[in-house]
Amino acid sequence: MLRKKKLLVPALIAVALLLQLALSFRYTGKDCCGLVGNHVETWAPTSMVLLRFGLPDERYQSRADRQRIYTYNDVELFGKRASMDFYFSRGRVWWIRATIWEDAEEVYRTACETVRAAYEDLRGFRVQETDDGCEIGSDLGPPFKNAKLSLLDDRLVIDVTEQR
């Protein structure tokens, strides 16, 4: 009887971890955040980024705010060469920065349309043109979801954030 009680706690912990892993798959899929080729949604746990993209090319951890950043240099978004940075806070992705290096002006309109389509069902949806691109998102929340697309020199930078 005592032996069964000793095994019960580790078994419950294992079941809880497996359930958490299974539930976190809802933050993955195809073309997440409106970025064609991205397989990880904002608010995904760190494990989902590692499962979808593998080990990062670069890792950085800030000691001041305990934020981690994983960088993947060889990613394909919208059929073009890109890099992606995933910013983690409390074990979840809160900011994705995608930088497209090829044909930035050509991809810009397509990117705006797909990101807009991904976010247009949010409460308080808005699109605002800026000097260097556009901002798409919702200020009604939580969650607060926003995407900023910027044409900078010869690259397209897409910042996707979610705050809860």
pLDDT digits (tens, 9 = 90+) for 29-65: 899 999 999 999 999 999 899 999 999 999 999 888 8
What whole-number distance in Å separates Cα of residue 136 and Cα of residue 33?
11
% of the chain exceeding 90 in pLDDT: 63
pLDDT of amino acid 2: 61
pLDDT at 75 over 60: yes
Tens digit of pLDDT for each residue in 100-140? 999 999 999 999 999 999 999 988 999 999 898 999 999 88
pLDDT of amino acid 23: 79
pTM of the entire structure?
0.87
- State mean pLDDT over 88-103: 94
What whole-number distance in Å separates Cα of residue 100 and Cα of residue 61?
24
User: Which residue in the block uniquely carries the two structure tokens 């290096």?
Assistant: 101
In this structure, the strands spanning 133-138 and 144-152 are antiparallel
What whole-number distance in Å separates Cα of residue 134 and Cα of residue 158?
10
pLDDT of amino acid 146: 95
Sheet holding 155-163, edge to edge: 58-61, 68-77, 80-89, 92-100, 155-163, 144-152, 133-138, 125-129
Residue type, 116: R
pLDDT at 3 over 70: no
Of 19-23, 49-53, 92-96, the range with the lowest mean pLDDT is 19-23
Confidence at 160, pLDDT banded by 50, 70, 90:
very high
